[in-house]
Amino acid sequence: MNNKPKYQQIIDDILNDINHGELEAGMKLPPQRALAKKYQVNRTTIVTVMDILKSYGIVESRERSGVYISHQGWNQYIHHNLSWQDYIGNSPTPNNQFYIREINRCEFLDDMVRLGTGELSPELIPNATFKDIMQDEHAQHLSSNYEAPQGSMALREQIRQLVARRGISCHVDEICITSGALQGLKLIADGLLVPESTVIVETPSYINSVRTWHKIHSKMVSLPISYIKNNIHALFKEDTDYSNSIFYCNPTLHNPTANSYSLTEKEHILAQCKKKGIPIVEDDIYSELWFEGTPPPPLKSLDTSHHVLYLGSLSKTVSPGLRIGWIIGNKRVICHLADLKMQNDYGASSISQYIATQWLANYHESHVKTIKKYLITRKQLMEAALKKYFSDIGRWHDIPGSFYIWFQFHVAIDMKKLFQLAIDAHLLIHPGEIYSEKAKQYMRFSYSYIDSDKIDDSLCKLRQLIDSEKLIK
């Protein structure tokens, strides 16, 4: 039995974590509330612990930031410790922003209800069909060797047929298989952009949440979607040099706003980019989830001169774990990006490529029809809950498909405090600031992952947090 006072036990535990490398110099400690909950003590005890550790020189407070493990010499308390944080701090690759780090950490915690996650719920992912594919008699032809640099020829042929139904005409040599669309963005950043490049991006945008293009030190120019729609005939300045520029857009069922440009708007965007010599990266991973009727055609279907690099993926319609995406574009560009891909990882999993090939050939169309029915039902449930609990403090637009409702508070709200309180209440939200620094009064709701029977209760609980903590300013 440990007869030490509780505060001393906590100090010993923190010192032990440092000695075993679990806490390192420069790392931030959890908030006092979280530590009090972990050790089942009141916050006064945690304050005492922090005061003692500060007197030892082991932790230090940073104004408006929190408490961190100190870089000072504390050898009389710490017996062996390699500061990996120094190596991490020297890395040219920055960490994710705070919200993204916390979301990544919390998504897999027990009992966490995800109100913003952009993926299908486990019950909508066809794992049983994947097992059938692997057990089918044709699986004897499965190879787990490396595939060609541009990916499996059989899979590229299935993708060619898939995009043909969206009006895109291409050859298999113009397709490169990637490990999800995100790797396609990474390859474009590494293979086509230079520090002198100007990256023109719609805002708000998913690209701001992954930071794939921010770390190449290119100039990022944001064009608000409202500006694009209101200035569709004059997007770019006449006297500006757009050499080495590229325009990234998500023109159908945009993430996070669900905006879709009309055919006419897409024609104007393509024409102006051609006039200025600006290639387009079209991210089109949601268009198959258009709920009713036919979605607007992709920009790539209007492209007759290889001006558009087209990104697609099975992550949103089938399974994120398959890690199967693709880039379609100019043959020489595709060969170049495929070569870079081989340098990085020698290609997407051959097993995943085999499953994806069989999936697209035999199951895909009927599956997409089925999941759209589920998503429509969930969308209706979330809209009903928003109307019940949030319509007096914000607004949203009706959406024609995909996963997201882009909610705008029409009153000021302390979003950072709400984010932390929601986590404490086992609710995980996506603040709009993730997608644009100017979207501080927005939130991305998603109905694709959360269980249907938890939607109403979770939104009710979120509204209660807002009211009980007086977060509306």
CATH number at 20 reads 1.10.10.10
Rounded distance, CA 383 to CA 253, Å?
17
Tokens 């920055």 correspond to 94
Tell me which range, 14-18, 235-239, 415-419, is most confidently predicted by mean pLDDT: 415-419
The tokens of 473 are what? 């300013």
Rounded distance, CA 91 to CA 15, Å?
27
pLDDT value for 5: 84
Instruction: Determine which helix (DSSP H) or strand (DSSP E) holds 185, and give its type and residue range.
Output: helix 181-192
Rounded distance, CA 256 to CA 210, Å?
13
Do 310 and 384 lie in one domain? The reply is no
pLDDT value for 446: 98
Count of domains forming the chain: 3
3-state secondary structure at position 256: coil
Last residue of a domain, one of 362, 383, 416: 362
Rounded distance, CA 297 to CA 274, Å?
18
Please state, rounded to an integer, the average pLDDT across all residues of the chain: 89
Do 213 and 249 lie in one domain? The reply is yes
Q: Kindly state the DSSP code that residue 469 receives in the 8-state scheme.
A: T
For the chain, give percent helix, strand, coil, nearest 5: 45, 15, 40
Domain enclosing residue 218, as ranges: 140-362
pLDDT bin (cut points 50, 70, 90) of residue 335 is very high
Strand spans (E) along 225-361:
246-249, 280-283, 308-313, 325-328
Residue 131 within any structural domain of the chain: no
Per-residue pLDDT of 197-255, as tens digits, reads 889 999 999 988 876 666 666 788 899 999 999 999 999 888 888 888 899 999 999 99
Per-residue pLDDT of 252-309, as tens digits, reads 999 999 999 999 999 999 999 999 999 999 999 999 999 999 999 999 999 999 999 9
Do 151 and 298 lie in one domain? The reply is yes
Do 200 and 299 lie in one domain? The reply is yes
Neighbouring-strand partners of residue 223: 202
Do 82 and 57 lie in one domain? The reply is yes
Domain CATH code at residue 441: 3.90.1150.10
Per-residue pLDDT of 56-96, as tens digits, reads 888 888 877 788 888 765 556 666 555 555 555 555 444 44
pLDDT value for 75: 56
Do 371 and 297 lie in one domain? The reply is no
Do 175 and 85 lie in one domain? The reply is no
Per-residue pLDDT of 321-333, as tens digits, reads 999 999 999 999 9
pLDDT value for 89: 53
> Which has more confidence, 83 or 119?
119
> Which has more confidence, 369 or 88?
369
Domain CATH code at residue 148: 3.40.640.10
pLDDT value for 79: 60
Do 239 and 266 lie in one domain? The reply is yes
* Secondary structure (DSSP) of 149-178: TT--HHHHHHHHHHHHTTT----GGGEEEE
Do 319 and 272 lie in one domain? The reply is yes
Do 69 and 115 lie in one domain? The reply is no
pLDDT above 70 as % of the chain:
92
Please state whether the predicted TM-score (pTM) of the whole model is above 0.85. Answer: no
Average pLDDT for residues 331-355, to the nearest whole number? 91
Do 180 and 262 lie in one domain? The reply is yes
Do 172 and 259 lie in one domain? The reply is yes
Burial class (CB in 10 A: 0-12, 13-18, 19+), 100: middle
